[in-house]
Homo-oligomer: A and B are copies of this chain.
Amino acid sequence: MRRGRTFIISGPSGVGKSTVLKALLDQRSDIYFSVSATTRKPRPGEIDGVHYHFVSVDTFRQWISRDEFLEYAEYVGNFYGTPKRFVDDAMDRGQDVILDIEIQGALQVFGKRPDTVRIFIAPPSWTELERRLTERGTDSPEKIQKRLLRAKVEFQTAHTYDYFVINDTVENAVGELDAIMTAEHCRPEERMEIISGR
């Protein structure tokens, strides 16, 4: 049985990453979408193991000291991290894994696992990203400009990623993600092993 692979998906706020990932997961039910661990308290309706793995600060510290995270970070007083265990279990079962994480986290994961594939979801244009952020209606014009600037800075760092998927339409973006996942299973390392044994 072929082993699963891990795909990091990053992208700026407003690019439509969640919508694209939802559509991808609807289409490919064999994918494991990584659930983060956090020390934040659950909000009403949030289920342990589904939205997050909710753990105590002590547990989180223990996991860090045992090197049980692929990446972790602090955000407004709470800790968030990707536990290795669930990712490895899924890959052993043959499932591809998606990590929905930011560039900083991606760098940590890539440092530990250089065979992780990094995909950046980009807007078709900056004007279009601004339009989407405005249409969302959750941010002030100042906040939108700040997000746009941040996206442009991120974009410069993202040149180290393996792939850029442009979210012009959800259908195209999902098609490209699916193609990348198929292509990455055609790498010689994986295939030589299969064929050599026969």
Q: Which residues of A contact B (CB under 8 A)?
A: 119-120, 122-127, 155, 158-166, 175-176, 178-180, 182-184, 186-188, 190-192, 194-196, 198
Q: Which residues of B contact A158 (CB under 8 A)?
A: 188
Contact of A126 among B123, B125, B190, B198 (CB under 8 A): B198
Q: How far is the CA of A124 from the CA of B163 in the complex (A)?
A: 28
Copies in the complex: 2
CB neighbours (8 Å) of A160 from chain B are 188
Question: A183 near B179 (CB under 8 angstroms)?
Answer: yes
For A186, the chain B residues whose CB sits under 8 A away are 119, 163-165, 176, 179-180
Knowing A176-B186, A182-B179, A183-B183, the reply to whether A195 touches B163 (Cβ < 8 A) is: no
Q: How far is the CB of A187 from chain B (nearest CB, A)?
A: 7
> Closest approach, in angstroms, between the C-beta of A117 and any C-beta of chain B?
10
> Nearest 8 pairs between A and B by C-beta?
A125-B198, A164-B191, A179-B182, A183-B183, A179-B179, A163-B186, A180-B183, A179-B183
Chain B proximity of A137: nearest CB distance (Å): 23
Shortest Cβ distance from residue A160 to the other chain B in the assembled complex, whole angstroms: 8
CA distance A179 to B195 in the complex (A): 21
**Nearest-neighbor residue (CB-CB) of A192 within chain B:** B159
Residue of B nearest to A158 (CB): B188
